């Protein structure tokens, strides 16, 4: 999960050195070994912020600029919410990310470290998307769906995910 957040920061243009500095500072400030597996970390394309408190969806918490282009360790009123937060589920007790929907919540593909060692699976199953794609090479989608007791939509989503993953590699 943390690697997805780091990738998100880099995709938004945040330099890797700034990400490293933020990771170290957040670890120290909040006494956590997983600084980016928390729902409270955000970016504005330059700096990395951390919310100072958990909040309801309608309440935007105060933010601390952990590292930025100019100033750091400044408190900023209001929240900055990014797209990647919408892709993840967070544990209610620890607030750490524990599930990622890499193609959005509308697509039934999820990565969960507690299922298949974090390999992409069809939501609600332990069926890995890479296995479905391999099986679909020599079989029609309806046959694959029947063999794995999935819907055609689930099989199509898994194959689309694996195809997109292969293109990105």
pLDDT in tens, 19-75: 999 999 888 888 888 888 866 787 767 778 787 776 554 455 667 778 876 666 656
CA angle 4, 29, 65 (to 5 degrees): 65
Domains contained in the chain, number:
2
**In whole angstroms, what is the distance from residue 108 CA to residue 154 CA?**
6
Query: For residue range 102-119, what is the model confidence (pLDDT) as tens digits?
Result: 988 899 999 998 899 999
One domain for residues 18 and 88: yes
One domain for residues 136 and 153: yes
One domain for residues 144 and 122: yes
pLDDT of residue 162 exceeding 90, the answer is yes
pTM (2 d.p.):
0.56
Position 6 scores a pLDDT of 87
What's the domain range around 27?
Answer: 2-100
Among candidate residues 49, 71, 100, the one where a domain is terminated: 100
One domain for residues 92 and 33: yes
Position 54 scores a pLDDT of 62
Tokens of 16: 């890797």
Angle of helix 141-148 versus helix 129-137 axis, rounded to 10: 130
One domain for residues 92 and 117: no
Position 70 scores a pLDDT of 62
One domain for residues 85 and 118: no
Query: For residue range 76-93, what is the model confidence (pLDDT) as tens digits?
Result: 544 334 455 668 777 767
Between these two residues, 5 and 44, which has the higher pLDDT value? 5
One domain for residues 83 and 117: no
Position 136 scores a pLDDT of 95
Domain containing residue 152: CATH number? 1.10.10
Report residue 9's pLDDT band, with 50, 70 and 90 as the boundaries. confident
Count of residues making up the chain: 169
Looking only at the bridges linking them, the beta strands covering 109-110 and 121-122 are: antiparallel
Q: How far is CA 68 from CA 42, 50, 150, in A?
A: 12, 12, 46
Among candidate residues 81, 100, 119, the one where a domain is terminated: 100
One domain for residues 74 and 44: yes
One domain for residues 14 and 78: yes
One domain for residues 8 and 66: yes
One domain for residues 77 and 146: no
Among candidate residues 58, 81, 100, the one where a domain is terminated: 100
Position 61 scores a pLDDT of 61
One domain for residues 51 and 68: yes
């Amino acid at each position: 999960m943390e690697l997805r957040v780091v990738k998100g920061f880099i995709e938004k243009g945040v330099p890797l050195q700034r990400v490293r500095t933020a990771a170290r500072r957040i670890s120290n400030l909040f006494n956590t070994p997983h600084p980016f597996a928390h729902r409270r970390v955000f970016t504005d394309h330059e700096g990395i912020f951390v919310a100072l408190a958990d909040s309801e969806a309608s309440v935007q918490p105060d933010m601390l600029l952990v590292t930025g282009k100019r100033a750091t360790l400044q408190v900023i009123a209001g929240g900055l919410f990014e797209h990647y937060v919408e892709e993840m589920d967070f544990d209610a007790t620890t607030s750490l990310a524990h599930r990622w929907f890499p193609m959005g919540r509308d697509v039934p593909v999820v990565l969960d470290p507690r299922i298949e060692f974090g390999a992409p699976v069809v939501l609600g199953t332990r069926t890995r998307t890479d296995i479905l794609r391999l099986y679909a090479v020599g079989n029609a989608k309806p046959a694959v769906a029947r063999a794995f007791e999935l819907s055609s939509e689930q099989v199509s989503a898994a194959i689309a995910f694996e195809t997109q993953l292969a293109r990105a590699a």
